[in-house]
Amino acid sequence: MCCSGTAVANSCDSRPAMVHRHDGPDDHDHEEPEFGFDDVPAPDEPDDADDATRQHDGFQYSGPSAYDIALSERDEPTDDPGVGIRWLKSAGAVLLIFAALGLLMSLVGPLAFSRDNDTVNSVFSSVRVNQVLDGNTIVVTLDEELETVRYIGVSVGVPGESFFRTSQLANQSWVEGEIVIMERDGDDRDDEGRLLRYVYVNNQMVNAALLATGLARYRPDPSNRRYNTELLASENAARSAERGIWAGDDTPRASPA
């Protein structure tokens, strides 16, 4: 039956979320871009004409232009979260990636599954993201306290490594200031006292989105295994398409633990 309770108020739906492609406005002559790290040459300067303003569930976003995609591919440093990752900015982009990969199952979010109320209230919580520390770590307000949250199954490396900064910018553009749903698995906290969670925004799993876009590596956690198969599938899809950190990688893909 459908869940209820203040922890997930107004977010519950017993039906799987639908994945839709979003067509641009009729007054823009602009085809839906392919979301991936294709061989797109960087123009000398941005082509604003390619940055059609689009609409997705009331949220306006721009791009991507060829310039944006090329910057993303090269992971060029930038202090502007709109430059180089505009193609990652909205949930619509993530929806398109998942549609292309066929990864609807379990990535549609926790509320697509029927659970009893007690289970929902103990496993899920609705919180606001106060700050994004890096690509897989956020600060939220939970029960009137600030808590640091680490994404389960995701490694973004350390500062200075390839795509560390880009993963942080993508994470900021997805969740900072947003209301998100957190899902607990086996262990509540890590050795540093951080909450361990799967995090969803607009009913999409951020953990999986980082892996599917090639901005993070899958890191198995023996105590938190609920979505091992789906997370590894997201990483393998990014590797097959040579997205992000996997560009030019020919290492054999792993199997679920």
What's the average model confidence in pLDDT over 45-71?
36
Predicted local distance difference test score (pLDDT) of residue 247: 84
Give the chain's mean pLDDT.
Answer: 65
Q: Which of 208, 215, 207 is nearest to 246 (CA)?
A: 215
All structural domains of the chain: 48-101 (no CATH), 110-244 (2.40.50.90)
Which comes out higher in pLDDT, residue 94 or 127? Answer: 127
Q: Rounded to whole angstroms, how far apart are CA atoms 169 and 187?
A: 27
Predicted local distance difference test score (pLDDT) of residue 199: 92
pLDDT, tens digit, 9 for 90 and up, residues 20-52: 333 444 444 434 333 332 333 333 433 333 333
Q: Which of 165, 198, 171, 138 is nearest to 74 (CA)?
A: 165
What's the average model confidence in pLDDT over 173-179?
90
Q: Give the pLDDT band (50/70/90) at residue 83.
A: very low
Predicted local distance difference test score (pLDDT) of residue 195: 98
- Asked whether the predicted pLDDT for residue 214 surpasses 50, the reply is yes
Which comes out higher in pLDDT, residue 135 or 12? Answer: 135
Residue 257: how many CB atoms within 10 A of its CB? 11
pTM over cut 0.75: no
Q: Rounded to whole angstroms, how far apart are CA atoms 161 and 168?
A: 12
Predicted local distance difference test score (pLDDT) of residue 174: 85
Predicted local distance difference test score (pLDDT) of residue 244: 85
Q: Give the pLDDT band (50/70/90) at residue 254.
A: low
- Asked whether the predicted pLDDT for residue 125 surpasses 60, the reply is yes
- Asked whether the predicted pLDDT for residue 245 surpasses 60, the reply is yes
Predicted local distance difference test score (pLDDT) of residue 72: 45
Q: What does the H/E/C string look like for 14-44?
A: CCCCCCCCCCCCCCCCCCCCCCCCCCCCCCC
Predicted local distance difference test score (pLDDT) of residue 6: 38
Predicted local distance difference test score (pLDDT) of residue 120: 52
- Report for 58-62, 98-102, 249-253: range of highest mean pLDDT: 249-253
